Amino acid sequence: MASILFVEDDPSARTALELALTRQGHRVTSRATGEDGLEALRARRPEIAILDVMLPGIDGIEVCRRIRRGDPLPVILLTARGDDLDVVLGLEAGADDYVVKPVEPRVLDARIRAVLRRAETRADISAYGDLVIDRASLKVTKAGTDVRLTPTELRLLLELSRRPGQALTRQHLLAEVWEHTYPGDSRLVDACVQRVRAKIEDEPGEPRLIETVRGFGYRFTAP
């Protein structure tokens, strides 16, 4: 089970979800503000953070952005129903997943488990030019320098690179990496691809490793 940092300013929602997640076996540390959440994170690093977007003071997207400056900690955002802007901003900030409020505890628990499973993979090492993927140690290096990837970004890169030259649909990647099936969540794939490109491509604006297959999905091309 996971140790969770849960930041939610609504007392009733916070209490209800904390109780539900605890019943699922998770260890939950809850806070009401982004500032308190960051302080709790510095005191003890959890395995995953769940952040409400609409927090007083520092909002959930900014908390996610600050986490991402130096930590690949998995992050799930809780967003208002139909608020696409929050989703887009959250994904650009580096969130691994999002859940629409009101939150069904079983759905959130499934998303938590899916995020934490993303680091599981087979053991081998692959080199693509100066990009090296070590599937045993779950490390990626470029020109000898470590590439810091979140678990979701790593799982996406592993899935794409496992089938070089093969075009993979967004729905395939969504199912394999996020373990989702809802078509509307395909923007998770696009946002994560952009983040991975920024870290592994020589020219992210003109990608040569992760190519876009227009109207279909993405293809990993080995040099």
Predicted confidence at residue 121, as pLDDT, reads: 43
Predicted confidence at residue 23, as pLDDT, reads: 93
Q: Determine the Cα–Cα distance for residues 53 and 62; give it in Å rounded to an integer.
A: 9
Predicted confidence at residue 172, as pLDDT, reads: 92
Predicted confidence at residue 223, as pLDDT, reads: 73
Predicted confidence at residue 118, as pLDDT, reads: 67
Residues of the chain with pLDDT under 50: 119, 121-123
Predicted confidence at residue 119, as pLDDT, reads: 43
